[in-house]
Amino acid sequence: MKNKIFDLLQPRHIYSGSTGLGHVYMPTSLLTTGSRLLQAGYEVSLFDENIRPYIGTAQNLGINLLGSPYVPVVKDRLHTLSQQNIFLGGQVVNGLTSNQRQQLFGSVYNGNDDEILKSVLGIESLPSPYKTSLIPMYERIPDQDMKKYLEKEFSFFVSQGCKFACKFCAAIRTQKDALGTVTKVTEVYRDFDIMEQDLSYLLGRARTLGVSHIDIYMSNLDVFQSPVQLGKFADTVIKVRSNIPEIQVTLRALATIDSFLNCAEKHPDVITKLVQAGYTTTGFGIDGGAPEVWRKVGKAHNFSSKDSDPAKKSIEALRISKEVFGITPEILMVFGHPDVDTVDSMQSAVDFTHAMVDLYGAVPRPHIAKNLIPGNDHWMNPANQAEVQMFIQEPWLFQALDFCALATEYTHGNKDFAKLVNKYYLAICNIEGNTTQPIYPIELTNKQVTLSGIQNMLAMNLNRFDR
């Protein structure tokens, strides 16, 4: 009989100090896993080291590897753990081969793989995450912790999947492998009745805890991609809010220019309903300043070759967002693509951002493109495996893959190009209203990671959290 107790661990944020609260953010993916395991008959406990140290003793432990900068954090944390079965979950894990995972973390399991979970834990079946309520896990969160989560913006699981194939993205999306085989992906929504139950619970818990306003970050990768389902979600939120009117709700999400314009033209009522539900802000994936850049990074849908001004499509989307629907546009500018961007294209990105801030009150959100993100096209290409192996052999280099981190020679090929990228990135960071905090990458000594380099990097980035 297997030990049917399971601990879930959210490691402390890499840029937190060693004491006090870290970056408190509701770990929705862990809660989803926990609720599924509860239905499978396991007893589950959640531990968030941004609030307090882990004190669990279960022989089964699941750890959330939230992004590339967490790779060295989790690797170091594993040295202090003695659980029999350790599972790593999160987007980064899906981007690693089994051999890469073994080199980085030793004998751990891929916690994203349901077949592995069932085999190791002796479970016959696991419910679909799309049909799983998180209420059983919400109920296990103490009031003092839940109040902290609800007072901050938190992610709400609405959908996953994106039909587009942006090359720098490592999310669940349409992809083409090295042999040219295309795997198409479509957006999939959670069960609407379950989302209604979960939202009702969260608003009710907020009321009980004296939290009057909650900020929700929708999980959609491209929120306007499926207008019919989006309209149903808006109706769901409106219904829940009408039952608990004293709690204010604010929603925001990511979107492509293409999907927004299509929805605005064919389904404007859906956007109007979404605004009625509390939707205030869209992070538009602009991600470049020239057609040649968009083509090469898989974002040709950002412009029309018929337009004399390649930015016309983006400008129109931001204008309609602000002037027609009253939605604040965020300019999500992932740029500085190695071997793609030029001085002219990066200057165009800066100029575009300035203009949109002035014209439509857009919010700058610049990020630096990184070729190597576990699971993206560059990472998976066999021709780049020597470069990949450099990061596998020196895990602290993963910290520099933070999209907010300044460019370096080892992320962008040479020092001169890295300096140019940083120049234009910081130019956008200095525009009024910018929400991105630049992160300092780890510096190498004689091309080696040193203890002093790690300590200096952590000191310079102390409490520099993204929201």
pLDDT of residue 183: 56
Do the beta carbons of residue 47 and residue 54 sit within 8 Å?
yes
End position of a domain, from candidates 131, 151, 180: 131
CATH number at 78 reads: 3.40.50
Full pLDDT tens readout for the chain, 467 residues: 357 999 999 999 999 988 899 999 999 999 999 999 999 999 999 999 999 999 888 999 999 998 999 999 999 999 999 888 999 999 899 999 999 999 999 999 999 999 999 999 999 999 999 999 999 999 999 999 999 999 999 999 999 987 655 544 444 545 444 445 455 678 999 999 999 999 999 999 999 999 999 999 999 999 999 999 999 999 999 999 999 999 999 999 999 999 999 999 999 999 999 999 999 999 999 988 888 888 888 877 877 767 767 788 999 999 999 999 999 999 999 999 998 999 999 999 999 999 999 999 999 999 999 988 898 888 888 888 988 999 999 999 999 999 999 999 999 989 999 999 999 999 999 999 999 999 999 998 888 999 999 999 999 999 998 87
Rounded to the nearest 5°, which phi and psi values hold at 55?
-130, 15
**Would you say residue 164 lies in a domain?**
yes
Q: Which residues of 337-346 are buried (b: 16+ CB within 10 A; e: fewer)?
A: bbebbeeebb
**Are 179 and 297 within one domain?**
yes
**Would you say residue 91 lies in a domain?**
yes
CATH number at 420 reads: 3.20.20
End position of a domain, from candidates 73, 100, 131: 131
Q: Enumerate residues 6+ apart whose C-beta is below 8 A from 310.
A: 290, 291, 303
**Are 121 and 189 within one domain?**
no
**Are 36 and 174 within one domain?**
no
pLDDT of residue 164: 55
**Are 48 and 187 within one domain?**
no
Q: Give dist(CA 5, CA 41) in Å, integer.
A: 9
**Would you say residue 26 lies in a domain?**
yes
Give the model confidence (pLDDT) of 383-400 as tens digits: 889 889 999 999 999 999
pLDDT of residue 202: 99
**Are 95 and 189 within one domain?**
no
**Would you say residue 465 lies in a domain?**
no
**Are 47 and 168 within one domain?**
no
Q: Enumerate residues 6+ apart whose C-beta is below 8 A from 245.
A: none
**Are 127 and 171 within one domain?**
no
Q: Give dist(CA 362, CA 355) in Å, integer.
A: 9
**Are 28 and 55 within one domain?**
yes
Q: What is the 3-state composition of the chain as percent helix, strand, coil, each rounded to the nearest 5?
A: 45, 15, 40
Q: Give dist(CA 444, CA 320) in Å, integer.
A: 46
Our count of domains for the chain comes to 2
**Are 90 and 196 within one domain?**
no
Q: Enumerate residues 6+ apart whose C-beta is below 8 A from 350.
A: 289, 424, 427, 428
**Are 373 and 279 within one domain?**
yes
Do the beta carbons of residue 83 and residue 59 sit within 8 Å?
yes
Give the model confidence (pLDDT) of 214-244 as tens digits: 999 999 999 999 999 999 999 999 999 999 9
Place of tokens 């599972």: 87
**Would you say residue 310 lies in a domain?**
yes
**Would you say residue 227 lies in a domain?**
yes
**Are 246 and 372 within one domain?**
yes
344: left (phi over 0), alpha (psi -120 to 50) or beta: alpha
- The closest of 284, 291, 207, 285 to 249, measured between CA atoms, is 207
**Would you say residue 212 lies in a domain?**
yes
End position of a domain, from candidates 131, 166, 188: 131
**Strand pairing partners for 427?**
none
pLDDT of residue 193: 98
Report the predicted TM-score, pTM, of the whole model to 2 decimal places: 0.91
**Are 106 and 240 within one domain?**
no
Q: Give dist(CA 414, CA 435) in Å, integer.
A: 28
**Would you say residue 467 lies in a domain?**
no
**Which structural domain range is residue 62 located in?**
5-131
